[in-house]
Structure 1
Amino acid sequence: MPNSRTAPAPENFDLECGTLIVGAGACGLVAALSAKEAGREVLVVEADAVPSGSTALSAGLIPAAGTRAQAEAGIEDSADLFAKDIQAKAHGENEDALVTSLTQNAPKVIDWLTEVHGLPFSVVANFDYPGHSRRRMHGLPTRSGAELIDALRTACEIAGIDIVCERRAERLCVDGRTVRGVAVVRPDGVRETIGCSRLILACNGFGGNRELVAEHMPDIRDGLWFGHDGNRGEALLWGRELGAELRYLGAYQGHGNVAHPHGILITWAVITEGGVQVNKNGRRFWNEAQGYSEAARAVLAQPGGEAFAIFDARIADIARQFEDFKRAEASGAVKTDNTVEGLAAGLGLPAEELTRTIADIPVQGTDGFGRSFSGPPLQAPFCGVRVTGALFHTQGGLRTDGDGRVLDGDGAAFPNLFAAGGAACGVSGKGDSGYLSGNGLLSAVVLGWLTGRAR
């Protein structure tokens, strides 16, 4: 078949290895470190010129409950409580076994990366993320996904792990239910075949494939694509041909607070600490406490598909722990003024309506949208950013067991095929309303760690 994504394995491969990992984002690099530590021969192939993936575009925050970093910060937490938070946000739609595997192993992975590989994780301890009953988001000093990727790549270099870039996986080479290798394409168009005894798909979701997005998640089809362009859905298409079970293809992480037209993520801390979103008319339009993934759909439904995040200098100071926010300020995306009228002029909003909106925010109590406020009121200097709704990454994909083994429609595992990261179904339920902050990276990093170790 000319458009087939799989093909019979050749008698001889151009190259042979033990564990082959497709994708050098956070998931693939963690899987490589884990497999190397388990004594395996490891090769990572990456389509980009340098490792990055969707992780490099994010804040690089990983939720975990019961870590040493939490204990040092005086935070009492548990995997059971974390699992309850995930299922509450996802309306109980996730498999309990997968949620348990992720939440039980998350603290082990964070502590391992810190103690064995020297990644200096700390807890984001000065604001809360929607849906989390404890402060459990772990990040590196700059709170940047690019910093996380760089640190993992350095750890792989120290461990002597080979990462071959500019090799895009095109086709799986199979023998019945067993994957024997992968065909990759070099930048010059030449195809190479790599044989392996174990294959870990840590490659991608399908957010960059607009046809698949329109098919499976029409409510976000017009959203800005803010993820990695390499997310074209190959893993999904390979899985279809192999007979793998696909789950929750309508699930995604959106982000309704992307500076527009600058294309820079504005941390949701500007909202959780007391800020609000307004539309072009200067009016609030929803309960922002639901979260930034839900915000994507809410913002896109506003006139022009855009909104404005309104906060103040106190909140901006909290947000500056994130490199993205500092970049947004440097680019002029963040407007600041000592009066609401001046801020309205800077953002192109009706001053009278914006003034009324800010005055109507309760200092204590619940507003008409059902959102509770308990902090200080917004006060001068006032800040604002024009934002739009975006699709950041897809959450559905290949169904796996707790060790990342790919399962078929009968629930049987393929002999040597694993999936994690964007290739695997995460723990956000069926739709965007189930997304809990950090779950995408949680699924990627923890399943990557488990696939590296799995037999």
Structure 2
Amino acid sequence: MAEVAPSPNAFDLEVETLIVGGGACGMVAALAAHEAGQEVLVVEADPVPQGSTALSAGLIPAAGTSFQRAAGMEDDPARFATDIQKKAKNENDPALVQALAEGSAPAIDWLAARFDLPFSVVTDFDYPGHSRRRMHGLPSRAGRELIDRLRATVEAQEIMVICERRATVLHHRGRRITGVTLTRPDGGTETVGCAKLILACNGFGGNRAMVTEHMPDIDSAVWFGHDGNRGEAVDWGTALGAATRHLSAYQGHGNVAHPHGILITWAVIGEGGVQVNRVGRRFWNEAQGYSEAARAVLAQPGGVAFSIFDARIAGIARQFEDFRSAEAQGAVKTADTLDGLAEALGLPADALAETIAAIPPEGEDAFGRAWSGQRLEAPFCGVRVTGALFHTQGGLETDGTGRVIGTDGAPFPNLFAAGGAACGVSGSGDSGYLSGNGLLAAVVLGRAAGMAEV
């Protein structure tokens, strides 16, 4: 249970910058604060820092990076900001959108140049909502590699990280945060005082009561995020008088292999694949994106669907470690004919054949999806999928430096939030989610919060 309490007379330990949460956001914040000359401590509830990023593809959208320029791609923050607002139906704070768009390339280039993280830009397929190819990732295209690299970098910088300590009480003196109480696995506690607190801890997707309250339309989805996402940051902020924003916003994913529980890259759809239900029929415009797919898939009989693609598309998807794992575990079925694929997936062969034949070579189909000549060809591939809740997108309201804003509009002097703790730029529901923006906000706001002076 997250609590707030007045500052004690003394703390067991005091540091300059205390970061709650050791995921990508927390570790980026730690690197930035350390580089700014601050004494830093990261506290993490898990035995090893990982967070929700370890469950993702670890891709970060950024506009105008050195990697894009090297690949001959023209992009800029203004175009990126326009894409974000278009997808979110202009529901976002323009200043925050601008801060993220302008901070994206410097953050990626800083991590690469300063800490030797081997980013590259994805050049062989488009992500929904992005007008340019701006997704950046490490070689495996897996979030676990990003987390492992950041953790190794934090260790190399000799930044203090204490694991298996869950922050349970946030201490304050008026609007100024003074420290936290940490609870150990044995139930014992210890207190840490700080001059600056960065909440990089969590959203609330793992708290089913909060999910039901704020986003009932996704309540039946498989929880695919990190179980530590229990909503403490929102509880602390609310108790202190902090403003919250877009608590109904979430990143869903309608392409999780079932029952294997493996994330299947949306490239299998974006590059020409489709989704069908148990009777072999398409049921929506898949071009809307994978977050929107969560609700569309859950609305089908049994809450499942089948992603249908071909060997060409599988070759593109294979750059992702998760997809290779799904193949190795038998989640991805392959057949030389559509009849054979239908048998492997348990679908009616005639209906599946009619569905694929109905895809037009050019122009829009009956669902409003545009096609440009690429047809599915043998060998054919398919995977049974379900809809999942990956993480929440709403949270504490912040400015472009991650500083938490009160309900009175004034910032807290030394309280920052980023990552799952802070409101992102997805609008008020799932329809505004733009691929990678959750990690973008974690990295950019985490860096800004780490560098900020109090």
Relative to the length of structure 2, the TM-score reads 0.99
Q: CA deviation at 1:376?
A: 2.1
1:189-200 aligned at under 5 Å gives the runs: 189-200=187-198
Which residue does 1:309 correspond to in 2?
A: 307
Matched, 1:219 2:217: yes
Which residue does 1:418 correspond to in 2?
A: 416
Which residue does 1:236 correspond to in 2?
A: 234
1:116-127 aligned at under 5 Å gives the runs: 116-127=114-125
Instruction: Provide the rounded CA distance (Å) in 1 between the counterparts of 2:313 and 2:20.
Output: 40
User: Quick check: 2:2–2:168 contact (8 Å CA) kept in 1?
Assistant: no
Provide the secondary structure at the position in 2 that maps to 1:284: coil
User: Quick check: 1:273–1:375 contact (8 Å CA) kept in 2?
Assistant: no
Q: For 1:220-252, what per-residue CA distance to the aligned partner results, in whole angstroms no more than 9, with x for missing partners?
A: 000000000000000011011001001000000
User: Quick check: 2:2–2:235 contact (8 Å CA) kept in 1?
Assistant: no
Provide the secondary structure at the position in 1 that maps to 2:115: coil
Instruction: Provide the rounded CA distance (Å) in 2 between the counterparts of 1:24 and 1:95.
Output: 27
1:283-322 aligned at under 5 Å gives the runs: 283-322=281-320
**One-letter identity of the residue aligned with 1:53:** G
Q: For 1:121-175, what per-residue CA distance to the aligned partner results, in whole angstroms no more than 9, with x for missing partners?
A: 0001000000000000000000000000011111111111011100011010111
Matched, 1:433 2:431: yes
Q: For 1:66-117, what per-residue CA distance to the aligned partner results, in whole angstroms no more than 9, with x for missing partners?
A: 0000000110000000000000000000001000000001100000000000
Q: For 1:163-207, what per-residue CA distance to the aligned partner results, in whole angstroms no more than 9, with x for missing partners?
A: 110001101011111110000111111011010000000000000
| Amino-acid identity (%) | 71
Q: CA deviation at 1:330?
A: 0.3
**One-letter identity of the residue aligned with 2:7:** A
Q: 1:375 to 1:226 in 2, by over 3 A?
A: farther
Provide the secondary structure at the position in 2 that maps to 1:414: strand
Instruction: Provide the rounded CA distance (Å) in 2 between the counterparts of 1:268 and 1:401.
Output: 31
Which residue does 2:272 correspond to in 1?
A: 274
Relative to the length of structure 1, the TM-score reads 0.99
Instruction: Provide the rounded CA distance (Å) in 2 between the counterparts of 1:427 and 1:171.
Output: 28
1:269-418 aligned at under 5 Å gives the runs: 269-418=267-416
Which residue does 2:144 correspond to in 1?
A: 146
**One-letter identity of the residue aligned with 2:331:** A
User: Quick check: 1:27–1:448 contact (8 Å CA) kept in 2?
Assistant: yes
Which residue does 1:158 correspond to in 2?
A: 156
Q: CA deviation at 1:24?
A: 0.5
**One-letter identity of the residue aligned with 1:369:** F
User: Quick check: 2:395–2:420 contact (8 Å CA) kept in 1?
Assistant: yes
Match of 1:260 among 258, 261, 270: 258
Match of 1:176 among 170, 174, 177: 174
CA RMSD of aligned residues (A): 0.7
Q: For 1:197-220, what per-residue CA distance to the aligned partner results, in whole angstroms no more than 9, with x for missing partners?
A: 000000000000000000000000
Instruction: Provide the rounded CA distance (Å) in 1 between the counterparts of 2:377 and 2:48.
Output: 44
Q: 1:109 to 1:176 in 2, by over 3 A?
A: same
Provide the secondary structure at the position in 2 that maps to 1:433: coil
Provide the secondary structure at the position in 2 that maps to 1:328: helix
Instruction: Provide the rounded CA distance (Å) in 2 between the counterparts of 1:97 and 1:445.
Output: 17
Please, which runs of 5 or more residues in structure 2 have no aligned partner? none
Q: 1:256 to 1:403 in 2, by over 3 A?
A: same
Instruction: Provide the rounded CA distance (Å) in 2 between the counterparts of 1:348 and 1:192.
Output: 55
Instruction: Provide the rounded CA distance (Å) in 1 between the counterparts of 2:267 and 2:78.
Output: 25
Provide the secondary structure at the position in 2 that maps to 1:116: helix
Instruction: Provide the rounded CA distance (Å) in 2 between the counterparts of 1:119 and 1:373.
Output: 37
Provide the secondary structure at the position in 1 that maps to 2:408: coil
User: Quick check: 1:227–1:391 contact (8 Å CA) kept in 2?
Assistant: yes
Provide the secondary structure at the position in 2 that maps to 1:155: helix
Q: For 1:342-361, what per-residue CA distance to the aligned partner results, in whole angstroms no more than 9, with x for missing partners?
A: 10011010000001001111
**One-letter identity of the residue aligned with 1:320:** R
Provide the secondary structure at the position in 1 that maps to 2:28: helix
Matched, 1:66 2:64: yes
**One-letter identity of the residue aligned with 1:52:** Q
Instruction: Provide the rounded CA distance (Å) in 2 between the counterparts of 1:375 and 1:364.
Output: 5
Instruction: Provide the rounded CA distance (Å) in 2 between the counterparts of 1:324 and 1:162.
Output: 31
Instruction: Provide the rounded CA distance (Å) in 2 between the counterparts of 1:101 and 1:302.
Output: 39
Match of 1:93 among 91, 94, 102: 91
Instruction: Provide the rounded CA distance (Å) in 2 between the counterparts of 1:210 and 1:188.
Output: 25
Q: CA deviation at 1:283?
A: 0.2
Aligned length: 453
Which residue does 1:10 correspond to in 2?
A: 8
Q: CA deviation at 1:4?
A: 6.6
**One-letter identity of the residue aligned with 2:273:** G
Which residue does 1:51 correspond to in 2?
A: 49
Q: CA deviation at 1:410?
A: 1.4
Provide the secondary structure at the position in 1 that maps to 2:146: helix
Please, which runs of 5 or more residues in structure 1 have no aligned partner? none
Matched, 1:204 2:202: yes
**One-letter identity of the residue aligned with 2:248:** G
Q: CA deviation at 1:307?
A: 0.2
Q: For 1:308-335, what per-residue CA distance to the aligned partner results, in whole angstroms no more than 9, with x for missing partners?
A: 0000000000000000000000000000
Provide the secondary structure at the position in 2 that maps to 1:196: strand
